[in-house]
Amino acid sequence: MKPLLPIGRISHPELPSSPEKPAGLIFGENWKELRRQALITLKDHGMGKSGIEDKIVEETEYLLQRLSSLQGVQDSQAFKLTMSGAVSNVINQTIFGRRLDYNNPNLEGIQQFEGFITAAARSMVLPLYQYWPWDPLNLKQLRKYFETAQNFFKSEIEQHKKSLDVNEPRDYIDSFLAEGIKTGNSVFQNEEDLQSSISQLYLAGHDTSSTTLTWALLFLINYPKSQDIIYEEIQKTVGSRSVSWKDREEMHYTQGFIHEVLRCGGIAGNTLPHKCTADTVIGGHIIPEGSVVFGNLYSTFHDESVFPDSYSFKPERYLNDEGKFVKPTGKQMLPFSIGKRGCLGEGLARTEIFMFLVSIVQHFQAKSVGDNKAAEEGVDIFTHSPKPFKFTLASRE
């Protein structure tokens, strides 16, 4: 079957791959092999003994402690930063085999990494930005974060090389290096590709997931009845133990809520840039080889024939007459895009969003401040993000 979207990618001068020699699993020439290997690693759930669920449960302990310290009226930015630490640590466990403390400067470097990319992308649209003496995009500071992240990735690769056992890969870096040694495949002997792939896994997986969870908080405080129903489902299905991915099968409303968050939050309104690999005709228009095209995912979120009253938040729209969750099919709703270049981390993202969200509602009641609902229209930063809002978290214990 032909891919729905062209499978090529363009390069970006400021991304961790140069335009002359693009690298890594998103922008590199060897994306097919790099993607396959990364998918296997993610499927193996971080290699080693514990699966991704165990890693999320472990991280949840730290997350809940951190959230407990958010006393009184809080800003959504504080929540997003905390979620971003938790989400980064799930990726850290998969890539490096260990988590980083929320106060670790390397974690801050990683968290701010896409701030640099966003600023760099803006400076590409308005190139004069980078020459202005007053640095309106804060590029100098952001570049420092970028360098911290890159140096950290480099030193991790070096350390992994020293302690590698090709028969017992502990994480993504080990499995990459082991594949190069075992198969002799030069793709997996190229450390530039390895470092770029690590950067790109963060770039693609970190802000997207933490922004989704910040949207989830916004809809929890704006729709307290929804929050109550989710809490009832938690009491019935999970009780006081740790949540598992399987629990979702009994939690129909919660699944509807998450789908509605993905749809109404519209975190990625477009795909990443795709490049036509051959002359193509679409709807009578010729799209020449080499053209850059984007998939419009937003259009799938607001197709009134599928989602009537599409700008209203209604988790129950996914429930059938028996109250069971019915997943939107095929191309009805595409928050993770589709085809050969669709989101590589969809499974991981869905798991962590479900498990983190359920754990938060299990332990805290989130509320808006006074009668003020948070604004539901977002702003486009790296992803489509909620405007800053205030909230409180009250412990349920």
Q: Tokens representing 382? A: 């790296």
Residue nearest to ligand HEM (CB): 345
Using CB under 6 A as the binding rule, whether residue 349 contacts ligand HEM is answered as yes
The answer to whether 343 is a known ligand-binding residue is: yes
Contact window for ligand HEM (CB under 6 A) among 61-69, 251-259, 321-329, 343-351: 343-351
Q: Please provide the DSSP assignment of 209-241 as one string.
A: HHHHHHHHHHHHHH-HHHHHHHHHHHHHHTTTS
Contact window for ligand HEM (CB under 6 A) among 96-104, 114-122, 206-214, 231-239: 206-214
Give the whole-angstrom CA distance, residue 87 versus residue 205: 8
Q: Which residues pair with 281 in a beta bridge?
A: 286
Using CB under 6 A as the binding rule, whether residue 209 contacts ligand HEM is answered as yes
In which residue are the tokens 């693609």 written? 204
Burial of 279 (0-12, 13-18, 19+ CB in 10 A): exposed
Using CB under 6 A as the binding rule, whether residue 5 contacts ligand HEM is answered as yes
Please select the residue that binds ligand HEM; options are 218, 230, 344, 393, rule is CB under 6 A: 344
Contact window for ligand HEM (CB under 6 A) among 115-123, 169-177, 208-216, 279-287: 208-216
Q: Which is nearer to ligand HEM, 354 or 391 (CB)?
A: 354
| Three-state SS at 297 | coil
Contact window for ligand HEM (CB under 6 A) among 147-155, 177-185, 248-256, 334-342: 334-342
Q: Which is nearer to ligand HEM, 31 or 313 (CB)?
A: 31
The H or E element that residue 263 is part of is: helix 252-265
Please select the residue that binds ligand HEM; options are 337, 351, 362, 385, rule is CB under 6 A: 337
Here's the x/- map for ligand HEM, 253-272, by CB under 6 A: it reads as --------------xx--xx
Report yes or no: 236 and 250 within 8 Å, Cβ to Cβ. Answer: yes
How big is the chain by its Cα radius of gyration, in Å? 21
| Three-state SS at 381 | coil
DSSP 127: G
Q: Tokens representing 85? A: 């630490």
Q: Which is nearer to ligand HEM, 274 or 363 (CB)?
A: 274
Contacts of 46 (CB under 8 A, 6+ apart): 52, 55, 93, 94, 97, 171, 172
| Residue ranges in 271-300 that form contacts with ligand HEM under rule CB under 6 A | 271-272, 274, 295, 297
Contact window for ligand HEM (CB under 6 A) among 64-72, 182-190, 205-213, 280-288: 205-213
Q: Tokens representing 287? A: 């799209």
**What sign results for the dihedral spanned by CA atoms 139, 144, 147, 148?**
negative
Give the whole-angstrom CA distance, residue 114 versus residue 146: 8
Using CB under 6 A as the binding rule, whether residue 173 contacts ligand HEM is answered as no
Please select the residue that binds ligand HEM; options are 22, 97, 345, 386, rule is CB under 6 A: 345
Strands 384-386 and 390-395: unpaired
Please select the residue that binds ligand HEM; options are 56, 194, 333, 343, rule is CB under 6 A: 343
Using CB under 6 A as the binding rule, whether residue 217 contacts ligand HEM is answered as no
| Residue ranges in 65-84 that form contacts with ligand HEM under rule CB under 6 A | none
Q: Measuring CA to CA, which residue among 397, 356, 390 is closest to residue 70?
A: 390
Using CB under 6 A as the binding rule, whether residue 154 contacts ligand HEM is answered as no
CB of 229 to ligand HEM, least distance (A): 22
Q: Measuring CA to CA, which residue among 359, 351, 344, 392 is closest to residue 62?
A: 359
Contact window for ligand HEM (CB under 6 A) among 44-52, 196-204, 301-309, 361-369: 196-204
Q: Tokens representing 156? A: 């991790």
Q: Residues annotated in the binding site for heme, as ranges?
A: 343
Q: Which residues bind ligand HEM (CB under 6 A)?
A: 5, 25-26, 31, 35, 91, 200-201, 204-205, 208-209, 212, 267-268, 271-272, 274, 295, 297, 335-337, 341-345, 348-349
Q: Residues annotated in the binding site, as ranges?
A: 343
